[in-house]
Structure 1
Amino acid sequence: MSKTQGSRGKSQQQTKLFSSQDKEANKMATSASEASVQPLTLDMLVGELEKLRKDVTGELTVSMNTALAPIQASLQKITDTVAIHTATITGMETALSAHSDGITTLEREVAVLKSKLETTNQVNDRLQLAVEDLISRSKRQNLHVIGIPEGMEGDDARLFMTTLFKKMVGDPQLDTLELDRAHRSLALKPPQGSRPLIVHFHKYAQKERVLLWARKSRDVSYQGHPIRIFEDFSATLAKKRAAFNKVKSQLYKEGIRFGLLYPARLRVTINGQARIFDSRKRQSVSTRFIAVSE
């Protein structure tokens, strides 16, 4: 019984304590409410709003500065990079402009050199033709004699060939035959066979008579040695004339009349009509016509 009564006493004391605290709080709230019920003037409202504005502005400024700091740093890096690239591009543009000017100058110089080269080539071609003509003219009175063994001419090749032509040709017009010189070609002596003899006639007409006799004659020989006689041409002209060898063989087989004109032109006669071909073209011959293909 005593314990129960003690508990009830404590509960009553606590209830009284809480009640007194509530009363005190209510008094304070009532006094605060009474104090706040004061009239609100316009100045007070403006002041409170200004204070609020400053507080909000300050907080926003701090927040924005904090948020924008990394962006500003990145923008600064980008600005620096752009400045470097701009300087590099400016330098490249300057160098490109200089190179472009240099290329333009070189193109003009190359055009001038090309023009000079073309002129030089034309002059060179004319000079080559002139030299070729001079060489050919210097050989017009020459004949190549192939087949005479080495040493048969003895010490005086000119006298030997003079006697040989007079004896073999038997032409009265060759009784006064004059040879300016006669010698072996300057090539090295071959192990077998002999080098050709080059004979220079004093008179062109006598050289032509010997050549005509050689063309008409067959199986020409001297002391048992077959002999062939040809005109003497420069290497260039000989190559041009040799270009007709194949077609000449075909013409001969077909029984078509032909002739090789000086310096290197082929004359073909078919059905009484003559056609002349330059050595720069290739000719092919059939039984009825000649087709010229470039």
Structure 2
Amino acid sequence: MEASGEAADNGGEALAEDVTPALHKYLMDITKEIRELKNDITALNTSFKQDFASFKEDVYNKLKANKDELQDQKKSFNEAQTHIEELEAFNLEAKDTLLTTLHEQRKLQDKLTDLEGRSRRNNVRIFGVPEGAEGDSVPRFVEELLQRKLTLPEGTSLLIQRAHRATARRPGPGETPRSIIINLLRFDTKEMILRKAWQKRVKLGNSPLYFDNDYAAEVVQQRRAYMEIKKTLKAKGIRFQTPLTRIRIHWTDGPRLYNSAQEAAKEMRKRGMDVQMKEADEERTMEERIHAAWTWQHVGEPGACGGLTQRTRGRLQEFRRAEDRGNI
């Protein structure tokens, strides 16, 4: 028994001696592989850190570039917004200045028209006299024509200062003859001639003659706008009068005075009348066209261009003061 036990111990020691080198080699191999794996992981980690750092730097650079670009765009947008605000302010101030100037120009034009009308208040125009019928002296022809055709009281002195054809191109055969303008010394003589001429039909041969006031060109243009209105009223048998640049219509509910052809036409359409106005007669005024074209409105305080209107208004006020001093 003892012999067999010793044999077993000796066999175990021999097996241990055989296994230990193999295990040691195995462990060494594992350790080596672990060390190599660790080195690979370390190298991979270093490469990853480098790649991540490079990626981070690229992202940072791109974000910085985008930020700079956004700041530039914001700056450009702010500058564009400022320019637009300045442009809006300028346009609004220019609109106000233009409307103010147009208003002042209209007032001056009205004054000029009034002065011209006053200088013509002793004038009479005769329409329809054939060209050449006046002979070599228009004043003498007119004197004889009025005395004969209007049956003026005997001994009436017309006191004609000047008489001549309208200063226009001499018409050709078949064209409308030029009117004759008569300047009288006395206003009451002019009124008497028109009153008598309007009470009867005056003819020179087969040519009907028409007598009227000598209006300024602007007044003639405004009166011409009532042409279609007067035709419609005549067809309806409605009485009307045209004092200077207005029209008075005698409706069944009483007379009404209208300041423009557009105003009268609007009223006639309301009353069921078909008035065919020419396009030129219904043309909008300059102020209406400016309001339609400029749709911007003032919002808040005026911009940097506000001084433009102030300077213009100041000059206009200086002009008005100088004009008022001249009228004293």
TM-score by length of 2: 0.64
1:102-113 equivalences under 5 Å are 102-113=83-94
Alpha-carbon distance in 2 for matches of 1:205, 1:215: 15
- Identify which of 14, 22, 31 aligns with 2:17: 31
Greater relative contact order (CA < 8 Å, ≥ 6 in sequence): 2
What corresponds to 1:151 in structure 2? Answer: 132
Residues 228-266 of structure 1, C-alpha deviation per residue, up to 9 Å, x if partnerless? 222222333223223333333343344333322233222
Partner SS, residue 257 of structure 2: strand
Does 2:189 match 1:221? no
Query: What does residue range 86-97 of structure 1 map to in structure 2 within 5 Å?
Result: 86-97=67-78
Which AA in structure 2 matches 1:30?
A: A
2:172 to 191, 195, 210: 191
State whether structure 2 residue 251 is matched by structure 1 residue 265.
no
Structure 2 residue 119 is the aligned partner of structure 1 residue 133: no
| Equivalent residue number for residue 256 of structure 1 | 238
**Equivalent residue letter for 1:242:** R
> What residue ranges of structure 1 are gaps of 5+ in the alignment?
1-25, 38-49
SS in structure 2 opposite 1:275?
A: strand
In 2, Cα distance between the equivalents of 1:246 and 1:101? 52
User: Aligned in 2, Cα 1:33/1:290: closer, same or farther, shift over 3 Å?
Assistant: closer
Q: Which runs of 5+ in 2 are unaligned?
A: 1-11, 24-30, 276-281, 283-328
Which residue identity is paired with 1:256? I
- Find the counterpart in structure 2 of residue 18 from structure 1: none
Residue aligning to 1:64: 45
Offset, 1:222: 2.2
Mean alpha-carbon deviation: is it higher for 237-246 or for 69-78? 69-78
SS at structure 1 position matched to 2:168: coil
Whole-Å separation in 2 of the counterparts to 1:248 and 1:162: 32
The alignment covers a number of residue pairs equal to 254
**1:101–1:264 distance in 2 versus 1, CA, 3 Å:** same
Deviations 1:198-255 (A, max 9, x none): 222222211111111221112x212443322222223332232233333333433443
Q: Paired residue for 1:245?
A: 227
Q: Percent identity?
A: 22
1:86-142 C-alpha deviation (Å, 9 max, x unpaired): 222222222223333333333333333333222212211211221222222223222
Once residues 269 and 36 of structure 1 are traced to their aligned partners in structure 2, the CA distance between those partners, rounded to angstroms, is 136
Q: Is residue 217 of structure 2 the alignment partner of residue 231 of structure 1?
A: no
Aligned-partner SS, 1:226: strand
- SS for the counterpart of 2:242 is strand
Q: TM-score, normalization: structure 1?
A: 0.70
User: Secondary structure of 1:227's match?
Assistant: strand
Give the aligned residue type for 1:183.
H
Q: Distance in 2 between matches of 1:125 and 1:236?
A: 12
- Select the structure of larger CA radius of gyration: 1
8 A contact 1:221–1:227 mirrored in 2: yes
- Residues 240 and 247 of structure 2 are in contact (CA less than 8 Å); yes or no, is this contact kept in structure 1? no
* C-alpha distance 239-30 of structure 1, shift in aligned 2 (>3 A): same
Question: Is structure 2 residue 193 aligned with structure 1 residue 210?
Answer: yes
- Structure with greater strand percent: 1
Cα distance, 1:177 vs. partner?
0.5
Structure 1 residue 181 displacement after superposition: 1.5
Q: 2:99 maps to what in 1?
A: 118
Q: Which amino acid aligns with 1:181?
A: R
Distance 1:185 1:106 in 2: 51
Q: Residue 172 of structure 1: SS of its match in structure 2? A: coil
